[in-house]
Amino acid sequence: MHSPASHLSAQGASGEALAGPTVGVIYNPRSHRNRGQDFDIADRPNVHFAQPLRREDIATELEEFARAGIDYLIINGGDGTVRDVLTCGMRVFGDRWPALAVLPKGKTNALNVDLGAPSGWNLTDAVDAFASGNRVVRRPVVVTRLDEQETPLVGFILGAGGFTLGIQAGQDAHRLGAFDSLAVGVTAAWGVMQALFGSDANKWRRGAKMDILLGEKREPLAHSGQGFEGRRAVMLASTLETFPMGLKLFGKFREGLKLAVMDRPGRRLLAALPKTLFLGPSEGMEAKGFHQLATDRFELAIEDDFILDGEAFPGGRFVVESGPQLQFVVP
Q: What is the pLDDT of residue 7?
A: 38
- What pTM did the predictor assign? 0.83
> Which sequence spans correspond to the domains of the chain?
23-139, 157-308
By three-state DSSP, how is residue 30 classified?
coil
Q: What is the pLDDT of residue 118?
A: 83
Nearest to 115 by CA among 105, 130, 106, 104: 104
Average pLDDT over residues 110-135: 89
Strands 297-302 and 231-232: unpaired
Out of 1.10.287, 2.60.40, 2.40.128, 2.60.200, select the CATH number for domain 157-308.
2.60.200
Percent of the chain clearing pLDDT 90 (strictly above): 44
Does residue 25 carry a pLDDT above 70?
yes
User: Could you tell me if 167 and 310 are in contact, meaning their C-beta atoms sit under 8 angstroms apart?
Assistant: yes
Q: What is the pLDDT of residue 180?
A: 46
User: Could you tell me if 328 and 153 are in contact, meaning their C-beta atoms sit under 8 angstroms apart?
Assistant: no
Average pLDDT over residues 266-291: 85
Average pLDDT over residues 238-258: 88
What is the second-level CATH architecture of the domain 23-139?
3-Layer(aba) Sandwich (3.40)
Q: What is the pLDDT of residue 123?
A: 87
Does residue 14 carry a pLDDT above 80?
no
Average pLDDT over residues 22-48: 71
Does residue 291 carry a pLDDT above 80?
yes
Nearest to 314 by CA among 168, 88, 145, 157: 145
Average pLDDT of every residue of the chain: 81
Residue type, 175: R
Does residue 33 carry a pLDDT above 60?
no
Q: What is the pLDDT of residue 5?
A: 36
Average pLDDT over residues 284-294: 91
> Confidence band (pLDDT; 50, 70, 90) for 37?
low
Average pLDDT over residues 71-83: 93
By three-state DSSP, how is residue 132 classified?
helix
